[in-house]
Each structure stands twice: as C-alpha cells, then as structure tokens.
C-alpha cells in the first residue's frame, strides 16, 4: 500500500543510494528486435550526468509505503534530470556580404535526460507528474522549447511524451557504437591528424558548424571542460608542417579535411550489457583471447561488455571535400586507439541518419541504435531571434550537433 507520489528536489546527501537503486532496476536502452539491453551504472552522485551543463536540475518522486511489518517508510520510486542551454535552432543568411556561411539563430532549450520510474510503480501517473513539474521549472527559467530522446520502439515513453505531454516527433538520429578491440586499428597513411588547442577548436566550430541544429552557444565551455580529451583535425598527409592555427587554416583550407572531438564519458558513468546467454559470453571471451594472442591478425573481438565498462563519446563530427568520409574514418580509428589506451570498452557517437559522414563511421549494428527518436515541445512564443518560425515544424538538416554533456 502506498500514498500518492510527491515530487521534490533531489537531495545529494540523502537520496543518492535510493536513486542508484531505481537506476539499477530500470533497464535503459534498446530491448526490442533481439538487441541486448543496457543499463546505466552511475559513478558517485547521480546528478553528475547534467552537472556539466550551464543550468541543471534533478527531481525525485517519493511515496510513503507500508512495509510488511506495518511500518510506514518514504521510498524514492522515480526521478528526472534536465538542463537548460542556448542552442542553434535555425540559420539565416548574412546581410553584410562579408561571409557566405549562414549565421545561427539561437533559442533557449531544455533537455530532459534520464526519466526513470520503478517498474513496481508504473502506470500510476508518476512519470507524467515528474515531466509536468520539470516543465514548470523550464518556463520559470525562460526555456522556449523542451526536447527528449528515446528509442523508436519504446512505446511507453513515446506515448507519455506525445499523447500526454504534448511533444511531437522531431528528429531520428542514429547512435553508432564500435567496440574497442584488443588490437590497434590502422589509421590511413594518407592522413595527418592534428590535435587542436581549445581556442583553435572553438574558432573552427564557430566558423564552420555554429549554424548546425543543436549547436551549443557555449561551445567554449564544452571544449574547455576537463572531460573533453581533445579536438582532432584530419588533413592530407604532411599538413602538420603547414599548420598555423585555425584562422589561417580556414582562410585557405585543403580540398578535404575532417574534425571531431572526444569526450570522456567513462569518468561520469558506466554501462553494462545484460541478458546475454552463456554461449554468447563464451564466444566473446574466445574472440578476446585470440585477438590478444594474435594482434597482427586484427580480429574483430568483442570487448568485456558483460560487466561495467566505460565509453568515449565522439562529437562535433564534420568535414568538407571529396575525401571527408575517408578522413572521418581515420579520425574514428585514431579515437579507437586512444580509447584502447585508456581502457574503454566502446567508442560511440550520434549523428543524423542523413549525414553523409555517417558512411565513414565504423560501428557494430548489434550494439548500435539506428532508430533513436528526439521529441520536442514548444514552451514559449517565438525565438530569441524572431527571424524564424516554429522550430517544431522545421525540416531536418543533414547534420545535427550532439552535445556530449547530454550523453
């Protein structure tokens, strides 16, 4: 027997263990179509998943439950995390003619991350209550839009947000996951990879990608965050000698180039693949043993993903020129080798399904999610810049910018 749920602010001193228990019993990730389920194993304070965002909040749902002995106790049965930031929601052409690149149009946007309700307390309106209370906070802080991500086959989540909360289906990006093998991946000898300073990385991103949907206006904070392991630029072989900084590079770029940044998600949370059969576990172990024994064969081994493992997240992927796809592949190989050195289990990224660079991103279909779904809701009237209409009705671009702080 339990009383109605009460939604309140998360208390890091007293709620951490109870929230982790709800996380543990709630499966997260694709579960349909024979895919393995993945759950989050947070390290330390559960609010750390949004703490790197400029404005963030976490709420919990608490009920008073009568135990078998007749004693009444408070019990946390749900939670929701969110952050608010300013991102690109559209673009416009400059009027002064000084540049041919479109200029970004920004909006203040809220992102819902990690809505969880205990399996024993579902279909009681707790999820709806959590979302409603969080949206009140969004409006109080001037957010114009709210959006969330789920899997296309998570019908319960889709029904909650689209049927009960007024969200609409918006974008369908793909989460691409590559295992980290026991061997190093070969990187094309036709490519030179340069690690950029945070200042050079910011110049490059603002000049070339700031008009991309969901580009964070505070990209400088992302690039200077301690979780950011670096931004890497791929140019034709020998380009390192000619490197004089982003300003000179953008003034006369090579015919083809590509860029990406690496975020250390393993310092925030870990994952674990659950539900694998003994046969599959044995097969995976055999592939690792063979890969370690014969690294020169470069066997596609399965990492130890059946216990908590970390990941590196690749973001800010972009490039230009006829060899951009090849250069992205080289950068992904470089990132794989970095992850191997740091003990990660997988390397992951999220891109628009229509992004042409997607063809150059190595991944395993079994671990990936080709049908991620972003839903959006308009909270306020207009944009921060009133030159564009309702963002929820806009057509998708080829690319999106996935903020690693939301992973």
DSSP string, 98-120: S-SSPEEEEEEEEEEEEEEE-GG
Domain that holds residue 144: 6-170+374-382
Same domain, 328 and 210: yes
Same domain, 201 and 146: no
Q: What is the pTM of this model?
A: 0.90
Same domain, 227 and 326: yes
Confirm whether 43 is domain-assigned: yes
Query: What was the pLDDT predicted at 30?
Result: 45
d(CA 391, CA 342): 40
The CATH number assigned to the domain holding 15 equals 3.40.630.30
Q: Would you say 81 and 56 are in contact if contact means Cβ atoms under 8 Å apart? A: yes
Lookup: tokens for 238: 């020998």
Query: What was the pLDDT predicted at 270?
Result: 83
Same domain, 238 and 280: yes
Confirm whether 68 is domain-assigned: yes
Query: What was the pLDDT predicted at 36?
Result: 43
Helix ranges (DSSP H) in 210-258: 219-223, 246-251
Closest Cα to residue 61, out of 111, 126, 147? 126
Same domain, 212 and 307: yes
Query: What was the pLDDT predicted at 32?
Result: 39
CA distances from 124 to 61, 62, 119, 128, 387 (A): 12, 13, 11, 9, 42
Same domain, 217 and 302: yes
- Domain total for the chain? 2
Same domain, 140 and 183: no
Same domain, 190 and 310: yes
d(CA 402, CA 297): 35
Q: Within 13 Å and on the Cβ side, how many CA atoms surround 78?
A: 28
Confirm whether 349 is domain-assigned: yes
Query: What was the pLDDT predicted at 68?
Result: 67
Confirm whether 406 is domain-assigned: no
Q: Would you say 399 and 215 are in contact if contact means Cβ atoms under 8 Å apart? A: no
Confirm whether 387 is domain-assigned: no
Same domain, 241 and 150: no
The CATH number assigned to the domain holding 346 equals 3.40.630
Confirm whether 120 is domain-assigned: yes
Reduced to 3 states (helix: H, G, I; strand: E, B; else coil), residue 123 is coil
Residue-wise pLDDT tens for the chain (407 aa)? 455 789 999 998 899 888 888 887 876 544 333 344 445 555 556 777 788 888 999 999 999 876 766 677 889 999 999 999 999 999 887 776 566 678 899 999 999 988 999 988 888 999 999 999 999 999 999 999 999 999 888 899 999 999 999 999 999 999 999 999 999 999 999 999 999 999 999 999 999 999 999 999 999 999 999 999 999 999 999 877 778 899 999 999 999 999 999 999 998 888 877 777 888 888 888 898 888 898 888 888 888 888 888 999 999 999 999 999 999 999 999 999 999 999 999 999 999 989 999 999 999 998 888 889 999 999 976 444 445 579 999 999 999 999 999 88
d(CA 243, CA 178): 30
Same domain, 138 and 262: no
Same domain, 12 and 50: yes
Same domain, 132 and 255: no
Chain centre distance of CA 80:
16
């Amino acid at each position: 027997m339990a009383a109605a749920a009460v939604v309140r602010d998360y208390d890091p001193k007293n709620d951490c263990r109870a929230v982790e228990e709800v996380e543990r019993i709630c499966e997260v990730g694709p579960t349909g179509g024979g895919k393995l389920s993945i759950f989050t194993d947070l390290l330390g304070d559960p609010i750390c998943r949004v703490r790197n965002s400029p404005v963030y909040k976490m709420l919990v749902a608490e009920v008073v439950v009568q135990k078998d002995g007749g004693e009444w106790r408070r019990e946390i049965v749900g939670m929701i995390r969110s952050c608010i930031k300013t991102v690109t929601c559209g673009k416009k052409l400059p009027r002064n003619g000084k540049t041919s690149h479109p200029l970004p149009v920004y909006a203040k946007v809220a992102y819902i991350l990690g809505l969880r309700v205990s399996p024993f307390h579902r279909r009681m309106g707790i999820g709806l209550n959590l979302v409603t209370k969080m949206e009140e906070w969004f409006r109080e802080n001037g957010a114009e839009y709210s959006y969330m991500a789920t899997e296309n086959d998570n019908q319960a989540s889709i029904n909650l947000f689209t049927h009960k909360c007024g969200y609409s289906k918006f974008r369908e990006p793909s989460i691409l996951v590559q295992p980290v093998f026991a061997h190093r991946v070969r990187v094309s000898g036709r490519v030179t990879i340069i690690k950029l300073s945070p200042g050079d990385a910011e110049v490059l991103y603002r000049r070339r990608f700031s008009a991309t949907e969901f580009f964070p206006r505070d990209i400088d904070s992302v690039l200077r965050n301690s979780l950011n392991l670096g931004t890497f630029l791929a140019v034709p072989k020998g380009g390192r000698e000619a490197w004089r900084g982003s300003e000179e590079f953008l003034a006369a770029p090579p015919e083809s180039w590509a860029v990406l940044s690496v975020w250390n998600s393993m310092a925030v949370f870990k994952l674990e693949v659950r539900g694998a059969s003994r046969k599959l576990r044995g097969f995976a172990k055999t592939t690792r043993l063979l890969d370690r024994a014969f690294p020169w064969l470069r066997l596609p081994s399965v990492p130890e993903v059946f216990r908590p493992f970390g990941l590196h997240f690749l973001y800010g992927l972009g490039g230009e020129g006829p060899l951009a796809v090849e250069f992205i592949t080289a950068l992904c190989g470089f990132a794989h080798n970095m992850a191997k050195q740091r003990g990660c289990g997988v390397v992951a990224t999220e891109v628009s399904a229509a992004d042409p660079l997607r063809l150059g991103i190595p991944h395993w279909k079994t671990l990936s999610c080709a049908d991620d779904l972003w839903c959006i809701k308009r909270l306020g009237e207009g944009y921060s810049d009133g030159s564009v209409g309702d963002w929820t009705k806009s057509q998708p671009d080829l690319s999106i910018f996935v903020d690693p702080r939301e992973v």
